[in-house]
Amino acid sequence: MGTAIDVIWKSWDNFDGGAEAAPGGGGGVDAALLAKTRLSPYAPRSPFHPRRPSTTLWDLKDARSSLTAPRAPRSPLASGLGAAAAAAAAGLASGAEQAEHTGIKVYKRRWLMLAIFVFLGITNTFQWVQYSIITNIVERYYSVSSFYVDLTSMSYLIAYMLCFIPASWFLDKHGLRWALIVAAGLTSLGSWVKVGSVGRDRFWVTMTGQVVVAVGQVFMLFLPPRLASVWFGPDQVSLACSLGFIGILIGNAAGLWIPPLLVPNSEDLTQVGADLRSMFLGMAACTTASLVLQLALFQEEPPLPPSPAQQLQRDREDDGQTDEFWTSLRRLLADKQFMLLLLSWSLNVGVYCAINTLLSQLVLPHHPNSEKEIGVVGLVMILSGIVGALLCGVFLDRTHKFKPCTMALYVLSLVGWAAFTFLLPSGKMHWVYLTAVVYGFAMTAVQPVGLEFGAEVTFPEPEGTTAALMCSVVQLSGVVLIFVGGHIKNRAGVMWTMVFLTVPLFVSCVILLFVKPELKRQAAQHAPRRLSRLMSI
């Protein structure tokens, strides 16, 4: 038995073993930064005393490693300023030696943590638009108006506005792991409620399940920047944020593409009910698997921080220097540059939310009986956005040109949507696909770019608080644009609705011109002394 257990641990050690040189930690360590910490750089934080204890298999592995690894001899300089000077002198060390002396290490398991989050994002956001993309079918089956079908999508936006403050507080108090467990648990519970909603008089049941899932997404939607900063080094943090957001995008794409295939437009409402049940059961099984993964494998944070900025955040928490949630929120609201960025970003992404909800109602009048094609339009839009998010993530990690990148995406969003607006009535579906690629590339990619931009300009405020505030304003913007756009569609027609949605895209470009950002997180990565001055203001 002991041999078998050793084999398991050995396989995990091979997967996660060895210290990767932490990007951003090379070239010497700032002595003033290390002098602030209570822990010697030769005595890394013990996995037996994590700041937020958890019980995953990774924590057991870390605890076992700390017992079996030989203890390095302690230097008489391993305290106070002497330890800082010794750490600075070790700047020429590389790889594992550098991780040992600086207390900074990038773990290979970070990719597993990211993959678990991505799977959760897929299973949750699939359900956002799974009703609205087949609005006409849901209307007939449940005998409800299009307003109530739109409400299934808007429930995500409304739930976020109502719950983002308690969700942000929960993240600050209980950490990343428990926030994701709550998100996965509510997503699974709501999915199983929907399984019992098949029946023409049970729209209230399906709406109840949708609201439960919508509350679950509140606990995960703003987490990609937090997960990226906690687990990834400075030269991968933007890419990791984009990849985390891709799970949300893939789920959205699947929610636009798969429901029209699983629930085709049929005159037999009994068959429609059977198709809905199959879709609900499949999603319930996937959400349950996601919950099991969160409970078994997701770890709160690595034993050692992956970057100087994250090391500084940990030391501030350990020394009791972090502020309460409300104090941090007030500082964010008083930051004029951040508020300008927030306003411009929320207008752009609010249009994206409105398009996802109203897409079927905008396209069907010009292309009747094209439910499946509309699903493909949504899929093409988001797949092109995934490519855009990946490219922008790599670009930002290499250049840190956040404002030019954001502006380029804003302009491309405006041009792409204007082209879609005027080419849709042509009756040519290939023009619809082509323009969807253009505005989808920009509107989808700007979401993770904006979240990372916000985290950069508001550091050292918690990434979760910044992202939660940004996402809450986006939801409000989306709800307003959906209501107003739906009203214009009913009164003036589809074309005027689409023209109306170009206005926020133009205004967002104008507002961004006045943003003069200071990239404070980059200051932490490359010039810790400068960050210390920023924090003392």
Residue 175 backbone zone (phi > 0: left; psi -120 to 50: alpha; other: beta):
left
In CATH, the number for domain 107-301 is 1.20.1250.20
Q: Which CATH architecture has domain 329-536?
A: Up-down Bundle (1.20)
Q: Domain limits of the chain?
A: 107-301, 329-536
Q: What is the reported pLDDT for 191?
A: 94
The C-alpha atoms of residue 456 and residue 442 are separated, in whole angstroms, by: 20
Tens of pLDDT along the chain (537 residues)? 444 444 444 455 455 554 454 444 443 334 443 333 333 333 333 333 345 545 555 555 555 555 444 443 433 333 333 343 344 334 433 444 444 445 778 888 889 999 999 999 999 989 988 888 888 888 888 988 878 888 888 888 788 888 888 888 888 788 889 999 999 999 999 999 999 988 888 899 999 999 999 999 888 887 887 888 888 887 887 788 878 888 888 888 888 788 888 888 878 888 888 899 999 999 999 999 999 999 988 988 888 888 777 777 777 666 655 556 677 778 888 888 888 999 999 999 888 888 877 777 787 777 777 667 777 787 788 788 888 888 888 888 788 888 889 999 999 999 988 888 888 777 777 788 888 888 888 888 888 888 888 878 887 777 777 877 888 888 788 888 888 888 888 788 888 888 888 899 999 999 999 888 776 666 666 654 444 444 444
Q: What is the reported pLDDT for 311?
A: 78
**Distance of alpha carbon 243 from its chain centroid, rounded?**
8
Question: What sign results for the dihedral spanned by CA atoms 34, 40, 42, 45?
Answer: negative
Neighbours of 170 (CB within 10 A): 18
Place of tokens 């998010």: 389
The C-alpha atoms of residue 36 and residue 84 are separated, in whole angstroms, by: 9
Q: What is the reported pLDDT for 516?
A: 81
Q: Tokens at residue 416, please?
A: 């792409």
Q: Tokens at residue 122, please?
A: 């897929």
Say yes or no: do domains 107-301 and 329-536 share a fold: yes
Q: What does the angle CA 441 – CA 457 – CA 91 come to, to the nearest 5 degrees?
A: 105
The C-alpha atoms of residue 10 and residue 13 are separated, in whole angstroms, by: 5
Measured CA to CA in angstroms, residue 67 lies from 43, 47, 63, 74, 87 at distances of: 14, 10, 7, 17, 24
